[in-house]
């Protein structure tokens, strides 16, 4: 009886507590219950103790009624609850860039006053409910980068106040609803790219007289003729029709006039200006072959920027001066190395005797010059700092180990170090300057040391002194991806990677980048992703390396950024005036400016973004697909790999001429290769806003084989 009374008391109290909530708070708590994970605690103050939700995170009220729910980029996972539709005064719902999945519930559209609905960057699937047509006040509708499918509901054209509509990077299919352009004449922005829309392009799209920027219909399967009415669009609007199945002559009127060929790439049936394909009397392209070969004289005469060429004599002079310079630097380095570094002076051909016979901890600056007098003032800094409890070696053991030089760059030398117990490590030696930034170095390196992921190289320990800074990593045994793709001079044998291994490396690298972008403590940007920075483990599993290295080197005093900038400046001076954008227009922390893996926007003064990494990853995918270097040689000219792919598409080269010849044995996987090519092309989009996130790239790769990965 006592237990029963206690139960009744608790039940009554909980009922009273719930009843104290207004209906809107109950609806929001229902949404909270549908959220399975809230890693950042965004909904922690959503509780039953408040009568109204107006003080809750992400909630905005007017006259004590909820008018806005805004919780973007908080890694919320779960489903989208229909209870939000009961918020009768809701005007703005923004849940972009979370991890919500499942379908969009029809009940969500009961909030008839919605003016903006922003759900892009989730994992929503299924069709778009027809109830969307009831949102008569809707002006902004963003649902890009999800997995929504099926045809667009015909009711969508009832949202006549729509100004911004972004449906890109989904799996929508079928024709656009009848009256799409005529009914949605208020549209200012329209993006339908990266779907499977088919049928003809509606002629009434020419009614969208308020459009600005780009109308993006690319990467679909629209077919038939380009309607001349598109020429009625504002002349400043860029019309992107790339990668569809359009055919016939390109209309030459209004906004369609004076467009370059890039707006029409990937449509093998199109003909007429500005393309090279002449139209036959029937209006189709006159070439019977869909993929004519690449002309030997590319670039065509008159299109090459002759200011970029150097004469043979100038090229020879540059090569000779480079060789002399390298020799002088090599001699200087050898002299200094023999005079300064006990590691270097104690090597035999096998690498044994590393540090033996030395003074142990008193020679803790074994990489640099003898500054024992300075050490007496900085004893607390002259020691190895472990970053986890798996570090079972100390500085003395490190000094006694055998060491081999793995490589050299503008950011120091990398050694393979073999301890006496057989443990292999990779030790990177940073610059020799900088004695006032220890705290900054510690903060940065310890943050990096906390990163733990199977596809990211682990930083185990570090060492700092006035004249020496070392980073100690796990050793990764199978070299880097660049060597695995292309081999290297002097290799006795070269075993090309199979498609299955390449695809596994692609997925593993994407997983590592998703971890850095979304799950690392600071949601980092790598900034210098390239095949030489992707190491391969025992089972060829990829491990991303050199993360955060540029900033650490700057702090340590190695000044890789200044060095790379000076080299770029010298290289720029060898060019003729007017040869293009300066490679020194900005300084980035990685020293990678001018790299073919660098996103186009990196040439502007702007903060690095994760979309830079997406572009670099896309170039890596292209390199793995084609087997070509990131800079392709075409006779006496050269172009980067991305432009070469665009050229192949424009010139309609067969797929066999684009793919790595070593992949011929995997011809049965051609569908997967095409899907990866689509993903890569999305990653290297010139507009960073159009590039997918690394999470969406990974999800697309995980869904292979699929004809519409992105």
Angle at 9 between CA 8 and CA 15, to 5 degrees: 85
Residue 240's closest CA among 272, 273, 206, 217? 217
Question: What residue has token string 């449906």?
Answer: 167
Marked catalytic residue, from 166, 528, 546, 640 = 528
How far is 606 from 589, CA to CA, in rounded Å?
12
Query: 32 vs 38, 77, 273, 360, 453, CA distance in Å?
Result: 9, 10, 56, 60, 30
Token output for 40: 């950042």
Which stretch of DSSP H or E encloses residue 505?
Answer: helix 499-514
Tokens of 617: 């990853």
Neighbouring residues of 99: CB distance < 8 A, sequence distance ≥ 6: 37, 75, 76, 77, 122, 123
Q: Is 65 helix (H, G, I), strand (E, B) or coil?
A: strand
Q: What is the DSSP letter of 89?
A: T
Question: What is the full DSSP assignment across 302-360?
Answer: TTS-GGG---HHHHHHHHHHHHHHHHHHHHHHHHHHHHH-HHHHT--TT---TTTTS-G
Strands (E), 363-411: 384-386, 402-409
Quote the tokens at residue 87. 């918020």
Report d(CA 435, CA 377) in Å as an integer: 12
Q: Tell me if residue 528 is catalytic.
A: yes
Q: What is the CA radius of gyration of the chain?
A: 30
DSSP, res 535: E
CA distance 502 to 517: 22
DSSP secondary structure string for all residues of 154-184: GGGGG-TT--EEE--SSEEEEPPPTTHHHHT
DSSP structural state of residue 576: P
Report whether 396 contacts 360 (CB < 8 A).
yes
Q: Is 668 helix (H, G, I), strand (E, B) or coil?
A: helix
- DSSP result, 96-149: -SSEEEE---GGGGG-TT-SEEE--SSEEEEPPPGGGGG-TT--EEE--SSEEE
Q: How many Cβ atoms sit within 10 Å of the Cβ of residue 566?
A: 13
Sheet of strand 214-216, all strands in order from the earlier edge strand to the far edge: 59-62, 65-70, 92-94, 116-118, 140-142, 164-166, 189-191, 214-216, 238-240
User: What is 396-407 written as a DSSP string?
Assistant: HHHHHSEEEEEE
- Return the closest-CA partner of residue 695 out of 75, 129, 33, 46: 75
Place of tokens 């009624």: 65
User: How far, in whole angstroms, is CA 673 from its chain's centroid?
Assistant: 19
CA–CA distance, 233 with 212 (Å, rounded to integer): 9
CA distances from 253 to 187, 258, 321, 565 (A): 22, 9, 54, 46
Element (H, E) at 633: strand 631-634
d(CA 466, CA 455): 33
Distance CA 541, CA 535 (A): 8
Instruction: Give me the active site residues, please.
Output: 528
């Amino acid at each position: 009886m006592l237990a029963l009374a206690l139960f009744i008391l608790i039940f009554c109290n909980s009922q009273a507590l719930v009843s104290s909530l207004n209906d809107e708070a109950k609806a929001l708590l229902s949404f909270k219950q549908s959220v399975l994970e809230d890693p950042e605690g965004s909904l922690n103050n959503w509780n039953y103790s408040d009568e109204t939700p107006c003080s809750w995170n992400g909630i905005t009220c007017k006259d004590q009624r909820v008018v806005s729910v805004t919780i973007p980029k908080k890694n919320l996972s779960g489903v989208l609850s229909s209870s939000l539709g009961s918020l009768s005064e809701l005007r703005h719902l923004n849940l972009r860039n979370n991890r919500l999945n499942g379908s969009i519930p029809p009940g969500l559209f009961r909030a008839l006053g919605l003016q903006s609905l922003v759900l892009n960057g989730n994992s929503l699937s299924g069709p778009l409910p027809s109830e969307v047509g009831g949102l008569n006040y809707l002006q902004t509708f963003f649902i890009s980068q999800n997995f929504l499918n099926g045809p667009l509901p015909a009711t969508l054209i009832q949202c006549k106040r729509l100004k911004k509509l972004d449906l890109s990077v989904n799996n929508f299919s079928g024709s656009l609803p009848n009256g799409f352009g005529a009914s949605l004449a208020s549209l200012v922005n329209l993006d339908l790219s990266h779907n499977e829309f088919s049928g003809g392009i509606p002629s009434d799209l020419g009614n969208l007289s308020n459009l600005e920027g780009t109308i993006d219909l690319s990467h679909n399967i629209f077919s038939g003729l380009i309607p001349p009415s598109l020429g009625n669009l504002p002349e400043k609007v860029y019309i992107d029709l790339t990668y569809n199945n359009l055919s016939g002559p390109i209309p030459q009127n209004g906004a369609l006039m004076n467009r370059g060929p890039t707006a029409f790439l990937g449509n093998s049936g199109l003909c007429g200006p500005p393309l090279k394909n002449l139209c036959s009397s029937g209006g189709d392209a006159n070439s019977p072959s869909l993929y004519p070969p690449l002309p030997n004289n590319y670039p065509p005469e008159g299109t090459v920027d002759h200011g970029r060429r150097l004469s043979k004599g100038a090229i020879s002079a540059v090569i000779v001066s480079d060789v002399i310079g390298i020799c002088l630097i090599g001699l200087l380095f050898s002299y200094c190395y023999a005079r300064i570094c006990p590691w270097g002076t104690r090597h035999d051909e096998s690498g044994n005797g590393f540090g033996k016979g030395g003074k142990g901890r008193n020679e803790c600056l074994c990489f640099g010059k003898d500054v024992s007098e300075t050490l007496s003032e900085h004893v607390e800094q002259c020691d190895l700092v472990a970053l986890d409890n798996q570090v079972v070696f100390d500085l003395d053991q490190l000094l006694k180990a055998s060491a081999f030089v793995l490589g050299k760059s503008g950011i120091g030398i990398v050694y393979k170090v073999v301890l006496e117990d057989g443990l292999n490590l990779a030790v990177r030696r940073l610059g020799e300057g900088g004695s006032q930034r220890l705290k900054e170095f510690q903060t940065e390196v310890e943050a990096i040391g906390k990163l733990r992921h199977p596809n990211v190289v682990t930083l185990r320990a570090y060492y700092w002194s006035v004249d020496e800074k070392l980073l100690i990593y796990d050793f990764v045994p199978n070299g880097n991806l660049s060597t695995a793709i292309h081999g290297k001079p002097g290799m006795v044998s070269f075993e090309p990677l199979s498609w299955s291994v390449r695809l596994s490396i692609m997925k593993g690298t994407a997983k590592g980048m998703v971890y850095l972008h979304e799950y690392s403590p600071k949601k980092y940007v790598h900034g210098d992703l390239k095949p030489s920075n992707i190491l391969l483990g025992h089972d060829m599993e990829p491990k991303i390396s050199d993360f955060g290295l540029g900033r650490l080197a700057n702090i340590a005093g190695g000044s890789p950024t200044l060095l790379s900038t000076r080299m770029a400046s010298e290289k720029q001076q060898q060019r003729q005036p007017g040869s293009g954008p300066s490679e020194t227009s900005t300084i980035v922390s990685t020293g990678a400016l001018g790299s073919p893996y660098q996103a186009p926007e990196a040439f502007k003064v702007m903060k690095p973004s994760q979309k830079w990494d997406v572009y670099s990853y896309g170039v890596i995918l292209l390199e793995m697909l084609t087997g070509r270097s990131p800079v392709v040689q075409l006779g006496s000219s050269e172009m980067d790999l991305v432009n070469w792919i665009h050229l192949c598409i424009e010139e309609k080269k067969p797929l066999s001429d684009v793919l790595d010849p070593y992949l011929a044995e995997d011809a049965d996987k051609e569908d997967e290769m095409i899907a990866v090519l689509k993903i890569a092309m999305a990653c290297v989009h010139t507009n960073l806003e159009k590039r997918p996130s690394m999470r969406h790239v990974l999800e697309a790769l995980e869904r292979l084989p699929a004809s519409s990965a992105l």
